[in-house]
Structure 1
Amino acid sequence: MLTKLYQTLLYGMAVISGLTLVWIMISVVVSVLMRNLGLQPFAWLFTSAEYGLLYMTMLGAPWLVREKGHVHIELLTAALPQQPREVLSRLVAATCVLVCAILTWKGVDLVMTNFERGDYDTRAYYYPRWLLTIAFPLSFGLMAIEFSRFVFGEELMHSGEAGIHE
């Protein structure tokens, strides 16, 4: 039950990330068309694209870790024998878990600070800043979980195959 809920959250965030990319494309096209027609684009159009870049990146990142869609270089792991490659891959994944855990902790602190102060982003409209920064601890926390699958699970983060294999 908990695993299903977690997967639904992870894939739901990835879908939102993809839809946000579509929105960013639409908002840029509309903004450019309006400018070419001599009109002033809506202020919220540009701001929503900026927010979208943050949300798209943060919400899609945990899914990318799960799918091994993040960028990593296999040059060293391809040159290593099986056992050292496994050790190195798990060590890299453990380092990623540590970094993500620290960023989750700092992200929670940032969200709490924004919430307690009642901070707002006031460019095109008043937007509670904690609604922006909540993406940090959520995404980095899920990335820590996903990287930990490569530390403790059977699957390794690195395949040991250099080059493009698609």
Structure 2
Amino acid sequence: MQTLVRAYDGLVNVMAAVSGGMLLWLMISTIVSVLMRNLGMQPFAWLFTSSEYALLYMTMLGAPWLVRHKGHVHIELVTAALPGAMRRIVSRLVALGCVAICVILAWKGLDLMLTNLERNDFDVRAYFFPRWILTASFPLSFGIMAIEFARFVFGSELMHSGEAGIHE
């Protein structure tokens, strides 16, 4: 079981690292595109398309890691005003709601990906790119986010600290 947990944790960390690499690629591709335009050249078509894909993958692959480290946006104003026992209940209910939403989105994402595979859909802009490769990020990321939110439902750590304001 411990090996499975380590493998899962490694997967979340690898997804976050790939997301960081995508952010780096966005910076490089933007600089290259601007430089090419300033030099009177037409930027490569694949440069713009790969940046669009990177925006999607960066968001989807980094989201589970953000949930794990409470890096997602949430408001502590209500939970800060609640007594300890009620705050725990509310925090776990909010996390449970997040699990439910992520499971639904993972299911719909899987349905979309399978539809793309069945129809043999392609994204046809700069080059032909199988659309299922894009939509595969939905069931993967939302499924893992559901697991991460479930850790706040069933684990000892709460999603909400009960402290309003910015804590950096």
Give your verdict on TM over 0.5: yes
Inter-partner Cα distance in structure 2 for 1:164 and 1:112: 42
After TM superposition, the structure 1 = structure 2 runs for residues 1-166 of structure 1, keeping only pairs within 5 Å, are 1-166=3-168
Give, in angstroms, the shift of residue 80 of structure 1: 0.5
Structure 1 residue identity aligned to 2:4: L
Inter-partner Cα distance in structure 1 for 2:100 and 2:121: 29
Give, in angstroms, the shift of residue 56 of structure 1: 0.0
SS at match of 2:92: helix
Inter-partner Cα distance in structure 2 for 1:49 and 1:2: 34
Q: TM-score, structure 2 length as denominator?
A: 0.98
Inter-partner Cα distance in structure 1 for 2:112 and 2:124: 18
Give, in angstroms, the shift of residue 45 of structure 1: 0.2
Unpaired segments ≥5 residues, structure 2:
none
Tell me the alpha carbon deviations over residues 32-63 of structure 1, each in whole angstroms, 9 at most, x when there is no partner: 11001000000000000000000000000000
- What CA RMSD, in Å, does the superposition of the two structures yield over aligned residues? 0.4
Inter-partner Cα distance in structure 2 for 1:4 and 1:116: 34
Give, in angstroms, the shift of residue 164 of structure 1: 1.1
Tell me the alpha carbon deviations over residues 62-86 of structure 1, each in whole angstroms, 9 at most, x when there is no partner: 0000000000010010011001100
Give, in angstroms, the shift of residue 3 of structure 1: 0.5
Instruction: Give the fraction of aligned pairs with identical amino acids, expressed as a percent.
Output: 70
Inter-partner Cα distance in structure 2 for 1:43 and 1:70: 33
Tell me the alpha carbon deviations over residues 105-153 of structure 1, each in whole angstroms, 9 at most, x when there is no partner: 0011000000011000011111000000000000000000000000000
Inter-partner Cα distance in structure 2 for 1:154 and 1:86: 10
Inter-partner Cα distance in structure 2 for 1:78 and 1:84: 10
SS at match of 2:74: coil
The ranges of structure 1 where at least 4 consecutive aligned residues each deviate by more than 6 angstroms after the TM superposition are none
Unpaired segments ≥5 residues, structure 1:
none
Give, in angstroms, the shift of residue 165 of structure 1: 1.3
Tell me the matched-pair count.
166
Inter-partner Cα distance in structure 1 for 2:78 and 2:105: 27
